[in-house]
Amino acid sequence: MNDLSGRLRIHLYRRPGGGLAVTIDSSRLVGASRVFIGKGPAETVARLPSLFSVCATAQAVACVSACEAALGQTPSVTLRDARRLLVEVETAREHLWRLLLDWPGLLGEGPRGPAMARVMGACVQLRSALAAGGDPLALGTPGLQPDLAAARLALTALADVATAQVLGQAPPDWLAATPTATELGHWAATTDTPAARLLCLVASQGWSAMGRSPVPALPPLSSTALEARLSGPGADDFITAPLWAGAPAESSPFTRQSGQALVADLTREQGNGLLTRLAAQLVELAVILAGLPLRLAALAAGEAGPGEKTGREGDGEDIRVWGGQGRERGNRADGGERRGEGVGAVGETGHPANVEVGGALRSALADQAARPDPPLTEASLPYGVGLAQVQAARGLLVHRVAIQAGRVADYRILAPTEWNFHPQGAAALGLVTLPDADDETLQRIGGLFVTALDPCVAYDLRIMPEPDRDHP
């Protein structure tokens, strides 16, 4: 299938009396998933990810999880752990794509193509290793037999690229060394990577706090509330321009990492502006890479390990699933919204199987993995309906499927771009606070800010000389 992602058109207008106005228009086909109405669940699971050029793994996991829930199927612990690992690695890959290809361009430097090629190769190797006994993203996959040795090598390669090309040190060490804005500034000034240089540029130009907005973080969403919005006659409008409690909300790496020491300190100093958002991407990358060895260990442990976690609504799991067969099935992991819990460590990063994760990082991750299973709760969904929430690279991804007589009767997807680039959302309200500078400067700052919010589609940002009639 062709990619149907579309584009964002972002226009900044100069107001006659000073200041800026913004419009955000999207050509995204938010109803594209309805092409699967009338198809079988297995065909839908196999073909739906091809609709998307980015975060296809998160889309695949959300799709298969929602279909399983609608059909009353419960995947094995190993299968669910494999899916969580794949989503985490995809998130790391997406962040590295920005850090290695886009961030250097914002500095006028060339992209780090060979390094990104190693990242892509590692992701392919991991997918192959986890699919050794069957595709973990397929419907009805039997028990997996992952190639753990190959998976370890793939995770090692990811950590090595991030260490050499982004952080300048091992991810756990970087987290331990940068718990405050002051220490982040020291790291940026003494590290020779594009990420460090970009943070130095933002700080030196006085752009750190630019783009602040009052848009709150999207709260945990219940199955009942989501079902009400995704199943009724207003579902298309909600998916196109979602509001929660009557207002826009944000779901992003910044909101996920807002509890981390560094992000919290930057927020106190700079608000949720440009520097804080850029740093949150670095923090999330480091937290993911530092935690991957424990996630692989959980996968290796299988049924005997901490893999199966049944969640309660509002717990903030990486993957949360509800089915209209009677019960909610959640997947808690040592990530998701809980990535914000205290992290700080000193350790080695050679091979993931032998990583020595020290101090608070080991404690935080181990505590989350060992938490006792909360009780199952009844989910008030119609029979044959499945809902899945997945924390994808750019924010919360929701899939809802209705299956009747063995065929898809309805399919809806709510993506993070619709939250973050809502016409009155975090991007819009942040952009209007930018200074009314010359076109070149405004274009540069605006591009930095949009990159920091990171839409999951391509975008065009234009500075318009005059407002149109709708933006006087």
**pLDDT at position 464:** 86
In angstroms, the Cα distances linking 395 to 58, 197, 219 are 11, 26, 12
What confidence tens digit (pLDDT) does each residue in 131-141 have?
A: 988 899 999 87
**What is the rounded CA–CA span in Å between residue 279 and residue 264?**
11
Q: What pLDDT, on the 0 to 100 scale, is given for residue 322?
A: 83
Percent of the chain residues past pLDDT 70, beyond the cut: 82
The residue whose two tokens read 């961030």 is 103
CATH numbers and ranges of domains, the chain: 7-464 (1.10.645.10)
| pLDDT tens readout for residues 328-343 | 444 333 233 333 222 2
102-116, 258-272, 313-327, 370-384: range with lowest mean pLDDT: 370-384
How many other CB atoms sit within 10 Å of the CB of residue 438?
Answer: 10
Task: Return the residue matching tokens 């234009």.
Answer: 462
DSSP for 266-329, please give it.
Answer: HHHHH-SSHHHHHHHHHHHHHHHHHHHHHHHHHHHHGGGTT------TTS--SEEEEETTSBEE
Amino acid (1-letter code) at residue 119: V
Give the pLDDT confidence of 233-273 residue by residue, as tens digits: 899 999 999 999 999 999 999 999 999 999 999 999 999 99
Residue 102 has pLDDT above 80, yes or no: yes
Question: What pLDDT shows up at residue 232?
Answer: 82
Question: In terms of pLDDT, which residue wins out, 364 or 19?
Answer: 19
The pTM score is 0.85
d(CA 96, CA 101): 8
pLDDT score recorded for residue 357:
35
Sheet holding 7-14, edge to edge: 20-26, 7-14, 458-464
DSSP-derived secondary structure letter, 340: G
- Percent helix, strand and coil across the chain, each to the nearest 5: 50, 15, 35
pLDDT digit string (tens) for 288-329?
A: 999 999 999 999 887 443 333 333 233 346 787 887 764 444
Instruction: Please give the pLDDT value at position 159.
Output: 98
